[in-house]
Amino acid sequence: MTMVYVILVLYMLRGWFRISYFNKGTIGRTSVSVLIAARNEEDNIARTLDCIILQEFPKELLEIIVVDDHSTDNTAAIVASYASKGVTLLKLNEGDKLNSYKKLAISRAIEQASGEIIVTTDADCRMGTRWLDTVVSYFEKTGAYMVSSPVVYNEEKSYFERLQTLEFLYLIGLGAAGIGNKRPTTCNGANLAYRRDLFYEMGGFNGIDNLASGDDELFLHKVAEKYAEKIEFCKSKEAIVYTDAKATLSSFISQRRRWASKSTKYRDKRVVWLGISIWLFNLSLIVGLVQFITDLPNINVLFLVAFGLKVVVELAFIYPLSSLVNRHALLVNLFPLSFIHAAYLVYIGVAGNVGKYDWKGRKVN
């Protein structure tokens, strides 16, 4: 299992290096609709909207639509106050009867959108002023149908959040590497863009609309079935979207259970087997660690070699990722994170596909 994992990570590293860094040229000239689904985000939404409004992008080509998902705080009122700055507010009024409000929110927004390119982000994100222009220019240069771009945690307030930043960077790298290998596996809806016509050609979220999660990955898989060669990753510092790590362990577990819940719904079974292989490797590490601890007089060389290879190959993979986001200092946390990561993956792999979890104050499947 160790050798399988090493080969998989090296294969992903190959995919990362197959993507060229993007240095944009002229300002993009394609119309864009930026969509945000927001629920109880009164503490964050204003900062996100300010970042989008300040984009160095032609105002006549930019449309901003926020869909309020039954917020019980002042989210809708705050968004409404931006109407004079070109922000459109839509409100869901579906009651408590759905499992996938976010997909519905995005679908409703796309129905109202006029931009040729749809860009989705979240209500708690920050961007540099060249973010949108970089993503649009990348579309125009590559002729892509769908573009995934980097999402990075920052402004950490604790060691727990710094660990999350490093682990999340690894996940974003895996998504980019899959695209680089022309085997798209994952992306993040906080920084995802696609052509509006493509959304309708794929039938929108039909077939995946029963799951609370998956507006990003599962839609990516639908597109990849037909247009894998037209999916790109924008490797550029200016294309990065920044967001926050989870402050508490319970909120972190809930988030990762939500992400894991869609894994059994992947249409491409190669992706499923990839996940199973990684899960089995981490399970074997946990078993090896237990044996190592309970049998100290006889040091388990196989376990030490397996864990050592895991750390080395993960360092090789994550080092260039940390270069992209200028966070090399995070790498000192890789050794303890490798232990923690193995245990949490084993747990999440099971918990994410069993029972319900909390999401924005709702219990969903």
Ordered per-residue pLDDT tens for the chain, 365 residues: 888 889 999 999 999 999 999 987 667 789 999 999 999 999 999 999 999 999 999 999 999 999 999 999 999 999 999 999 999 999 998 766 666 788 999 999 999 999 999 999 999 999 999 999 999 999 999 999 999 999 999 999 999 999 999 999 999 999 999 999 999 999 999 999 999 999 999 999 998 877 766 788 999 999 999 999 999 999 999 999 999 999 999 888 888 888 777 666 666 667 777 778 888 888 888 888 888 777 755 667 888 888 899 999 999 999 999 999 999 999 999 999 988 888 888 888 887 766 665 656 656 55
The encoded tokens of residue 58 equal 């032609």
pTM for the whole thing?
A: 0.90
State the span(s) of the chain assigned CATH 3.90.550.10: 19-253
Convert 166-180 to b/e letters by CB count within 10 Å (16 or more is b). bbbbbebbbbbbbbb
**What is the predicted pLDDT for the residue at 78?**
97
> How many CB atoms lie under 10 A from the CB of residue 305?
11
CA distance 309 to 333: 16
Q: Is 74 exposed, middle or buried (0-12, 13-18, 19+ CB in 10 A)?
A: middle
d(CA 300, CA 179): 38
Closest by alpha carbon to 262, among 357, 138, 361?
Answer: 357
pLDDT at 210: 72
Can you tell me the distance from the alpha carbon of 195 to that of 117, in angstroms, rounded to the nearest whole number? Answer: 4
Phi first, then psi: give them for residue 351, nearest 5 degrees. -65, -30
186 backbone dihedrals φ, ψ, rounded to 5°: -150, 160
Report the 10 Å Cβ neighbour count for 343. Answer: 14
Nearest to 264 by CA among 183, 349, 362: 349
What torsion, rounded to 10 degrees, do the Cα atoms 187, 190, 193, 197 define? 100
> 36, 23, 241: which is closest to 119 by C-alpha?
36
Q: What's the pLDDT at 298?
A: 60
Strand ranges, E, within 168-272: 192-195, 231-233, 241-243
CATH superfamily of 19-253: Spore Coat Polysaccharide Biosynthesis Protein SpsA; Chain A (3.90.550.10)
Count of C-beta atoms within a 10 Å radius of residue 2 = 19
